[in-house]
């Protein structure tokens, strides 16, 4: 058996830790929607290492089920940009996806759904692990905004921002199951892990609406006061809490989705929009839409600890090193 001297063992451990640390530091991606590119941030130096050109108006970003690619939806570019989530290299560009504003995969990895924010339709694609095939294009309400898919991969829920609706689509039949009126300008959607409730941010209001979706038709269960311009959600990853950004109030609320109540609020400058949570659950990364920055907030204290300059109108934000999604 081979033994290392004590000093050599210490050096080896330090080197090994350094390798693991380096491997864990995957980049943070920020979509600059008015610059048609993506800022790539090194989370160790907090510097932008490069910008990746995309199609026009990249708004939202989502990972493929195999975790080999992250997809940027270029709404006005009618395209999807596939990027390596570890190296930040562009892998390919898929063209012909019409007005892909928001995007989401079903948990069973069979379906890929986009909404056309300008053209008012929902597109359902089949996914074979590599390529997308359009199954059906469904006319929707006015200005479809965000998507949530249930854990059973049976239903896609989408908000209609300018007709004030929540719409449920059966993925297997590609037909609308139901639609209900909501408050003003519904935006992002977050579903509880038991598939019983949907939380919907009211960008035209100052609250989150909670819908009971356990029956054949959604019913408004309660409202949770947050702040003006309630918009986007991101789970803390502790199995209990989710954040919602209030884009007009310049705040973020922490919601207990088991009790369905707000338990904390802290400031987030510059029109907080999309968010990401670090893998250790300590930091909240926020795209500050109006000031061309990413704001980094310490979750325990609720204090702003850093701001990173990026491009114009930063929107979607994502890293592979993120907390759990519930």
Q: Of the candidates 39, 59, 136, which has an alpha carbon nearest to the alpha carbon of residue 103?
A: 59
Res. 14: pLDDT tops 90? no
| 190 part of a folded domain | no
Between the alpha carbon of residue 173 and those of residues 54, 146, 195, 196, the distances in Å are: 33, 20, 20, 22
| 267 part of a folded domain | no
Quick one: DSSP state of residue 300?
Answer: T
Boundaries of domain holding 151: 99-181
Please give the pLDDT value at position 22: 43
The CATH number covering residue 111 comes to 2.40.10.480
Please give the pLDDT value at position 153: 97
Contact predicate 206/221, CB 8 Å: no
Q: How many domains does the chain have?
A: 1
| 172 part of a folded domain | yes
Quick one: DSSP state of residue 37?
Answer: E
Q: Residues 136-194: pLDDT tens digits?
A: 999 999 999 999 999 999 999 999 999 999 999 999 999 999 999 999 999 999 999 99
Structure tokens at 88: 């930040």
Please give the pLDDT value at position 23: 54
Quick one: DSSP state of residue 313?
Answer: S
Residues contacting 62, CB < 8 A, separation 6+: 70, 71, 73, 103, 104, 105, 318
Q: What are phi and psi of 108, to 5 degrees?
A: -85, 0
Task: Using pLDDT thresholds of 50, 70 and 90, give the confidence band for residue 1.
Answer: very low
* Mean per-residue pLDDT over the chain, rounded: 94
The rounded percent of the chain whose pLDDT value lies above 90 is 91
Q: Residues 29-65: pLDDT tens digits?
A: 999 999 999 999 999 999 999 999 999 999 999 999 8
Contact predicate 140/147, CB 8 Å: no
| 47 part of a folded domain | no
| 118 part of a folded domain | yes
| 155 part of a folded domain | yes
Res. 210: pLDDT tops 50? yes
The whole-angstrom separation of Cα 209 and Cα 93 is: 37
| 309 part of a folded domain | no
Structure tokens at 57: 């108006």
**In which order are the strands placed within the sheet that holds 186-191?**
186-191, 197-202, 207-212, 219-225
| 55 part of a folded domain | no
The whole-angstrom separation of Cα 255 and Cα 276 is: 15
The stretch 209-237 carries a mean pLDDT of 98
Please give the pLDDT value at position 24: 57
Q: Of the candidates 180, 204, 197, which has an alpha carbon nearest to the alpha carbon of residue 242?
A: 197
The whole-angstrom separation of Cα 30 and Cα 40 is: 7
């Amino acid at each position: 058996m081979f033994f290392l001297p004590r000093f050599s063992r210490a050096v080896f451990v330090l080197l090994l830790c350094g390798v693991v640390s380096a491997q864990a530091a995957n980049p943070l991606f920020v979509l600059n929607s008015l610059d048609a590119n993506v800022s790539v941030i090194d989370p160790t130096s907090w510097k932008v290492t490069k910008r990746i050109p995309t199609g026009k108006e990249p708004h939202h970003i989502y990972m493929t089920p195999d975790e080999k690619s992250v997809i940027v939806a270029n709404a006005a570019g009618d395209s999807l940009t596939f990027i390596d989530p570890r190296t930040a290299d562009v892998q390919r560009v898929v063209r012909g996806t019409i007005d892909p504003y928001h995007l989401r995969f079903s948990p069973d990895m069979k379906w890929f759904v986009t909404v056309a924010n300008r053209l008012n339709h929902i597109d359902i694609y089949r996914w074979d692990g590599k390529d997308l095939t359009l199954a059906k294009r469904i006319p929707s309400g006015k200005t479809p905004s965000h998507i949530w898919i249930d854990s059973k991969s049976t239903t896609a829920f989408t908000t209609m921002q300018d007709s004030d609706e929540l719409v449920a689509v059966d993925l297997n039949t590609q037909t609308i199951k139901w639609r209900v009126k909501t408050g003003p300008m519904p935006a992002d959607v977050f579903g509880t892990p038991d598939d019983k409730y949907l939380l919907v941010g009211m960008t035209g209001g100052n609250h989150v609406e909670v819908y009971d979706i356990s029956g054949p038709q959604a019913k408004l269960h309660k409202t949770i006061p947050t702040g003006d311009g309630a918009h986007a959600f991101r789970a803390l990853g502790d199995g209990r809490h989710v954040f919602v950004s209030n884009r007009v109030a310049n705040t973020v609320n922490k919601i207990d989705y088991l009790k369905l109540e707000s338990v904390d609020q802290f400031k987030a400058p510059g029109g907080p929009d999309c968010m990401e949570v670090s893998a250790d659950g300590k930091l909240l990364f926020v795209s500050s839409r109006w000031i061309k920055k990413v704001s980094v907030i310490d979750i325990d204290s609720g204090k702003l600890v850093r701001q990173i300059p990026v491009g114009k109108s930063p929107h979607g934000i994502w890293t592979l090193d993120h907390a759990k999604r519930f």
